[in-house]
Amino acid sequence: MAALLLHTTATGIAIAPGRCVSFHVSRPAHGRRSSVSPFATLSPPRGRSRSDSIDWVEATSSFFEQDSRPIMLFDGVCNLCNGGVRFVRENDRDGNIRFEALQSESGRKLLRRSGRSPDDISSVVLVEEARSYIKSDAVLKIMEYLDLPFPQLALFLQFVPMFLRDFVYDNVANNRYAIFGRSDTCEI
């Protein structure tokens, strides 16, 4: 089986961690060696918990029934993130954005809705009713909801390639506690 997996990996088939893969092996009638089909089907791993099978978009749709404003998820104990929430509140006079700490039960559910681990507090996330944004895309989308001149600045920054924006974002995010410290209380 290991040789089969190495052969398949060498052909460029990517296998998601924690997934089972079944291969179709065909045997020609004229006696030549069998070949591996380049098609693989993914099946869910055994032993998955019930929460993994939940449709998180449906499960969190109540967050948008009465209020369609996007929700900014942030690290509630990070001083930089709390400062970011204050900044957004001060520059969002119309109250276009709601806030939720990543560590809260609602934040954890919204992280799942966004395709993220419920324990992942590494990035700011903006959750809209139909879509979620992470890292630098989330920051730019948040800027679009703020007062002038931030929407224009976001438009300009969208021309910076995402790999550069996310590189800067990741470096700040990975060092945020060391540089800005932690708080015992959440901003909201």
Instruction: Look at residue 133 in the predicted model and tell me its pLDDT.
Output: 96
Rounded to 10 deg, the angle between the 162-174 and 135-145 helix axes is 100
Tell me the pLDDT tens digit for each residue of 106-127: 999 999 999 999 988 889 999 9
pLDDT over 90 percentage in the chain:
55
pLDDT in tens, the chain (188 residues): 443 333 333 334 444 444 343 333 344 444 444 443 333 333 344 444 455 678 888 889 899 999 999 999 999 889 899 999 999 999 999 999 999 999 999 999 999 999 999 988 889 999 999 999 999 999 999 999 999 999 999 999 999 999 999 999 999 999 998 888 887 766 66
3-state secondary structure of 75: coil
**Structural tokens at position 35:** 């070949």
Question: What pTM does this model have?
Answer: 0.69
Task: Give the number of other Cβ atoms within 10 Å of residue 24's Cβ.
Answer: 11
Q: Which domains does the chain have, with CATH numbers?
A: 2-43 (no CATH), 67-180 (3.40.30)
Q: Where are the beta strands (DSSP E) in the chain?
A: 20-26, 35-43, 71-74, 98-101, 125-127, 132-134
**Structural tokens at position 120:** 């992942």
Tell me the pLDDT tens digit for each residue of 166-184: 999 999 999 998 888 887 7
Instruction: Look at residue 170 in the predicted model and tell me its pLDDT.
Output: 94
